[in-house]
Amino acid sequence: MADKIREIQSRFTKNLKDPGGSDSLPAVIGYVPLFGWIYPTFFKKDNDFCQFHGKQAMQLNGLMVAVYFIVWILEHFPITSWLFGPDAFLNPITQATWRLTMLGYFALSVVGAYKAFTEEKWEIPFLSDFAQKIEKQMKDK
């Protein structure tokens, strides 16, 4: 365990001294909430590692925004607000869904950033499959 910590510390200090020499810091930036994925996706186009993590962070952000939009619609749309609105009977369900989504989003962002920092290509389970299904459905229409 101590060897792994020393390895991470040495890699971190090396990356701070020479940020242009490693692919891990731009990939880690991709997991900054909401807009971090822009940097590795658009400014590191020639780097496959940064593109992988940038795309994955973009998919994760898209999923979080989609869940937020669904919860917002349920709570504020006139037809569903009487069930899911602020003082409604089923409001705890939407609030729990939103809170669990945020908790999962931040946890997956931290794990993804750690994996990017250790220069590992780690796919978030089910996320890429889900994104490919949605992309295929959008292309078919």
pLDDT tens sequence across 81-97:
888 888 888 889 989 99
In whole angstroms, what separates CA 122 from the centre of its chain? 12
CB 29 within 8 A of CB 117: no
- pLDDT of 17 strictly over 50: no
pLDDT band with cut points at 50, 70 and 90 for residue 21: low
CB 136 within 8 A of CB 128: no
Q: Which two tokens stand for residue 30?
A: 């991709």
Establish how many alpha carbons lie within 13 A of residue 101's alpha carbon, considering only the half-sphere containing its beta carbon.
Answer: 18
Q: Which two tokens stand for residue 37?
A: 């994925």
Q: What is the pTM of this model?
A: 0.75
CB 127 within 8 A of CB 111: no
pLDDT band with cut points at 50, 70 and 90 for residue 12: low
Helices within 18-126 (DSSP H only): 24-29, 38-43, 48-76, 78-84, 91-117
pLDDT band with cut points at 50, 70 and 90 for residue 112: very high
Phi, psi at 125, each rounded to 5°: -55, 135
- pLDDT of 117 strictly over 70: yes
- pLDDT of 99 strictly over 90: yes
Which pLDDT value is given to residue 13?
Answer: 63
- pLDDT of 39 strictly over 80: yes
The rounded distance, in Å, linking the Cα atoms of 70 and 89 is: 18
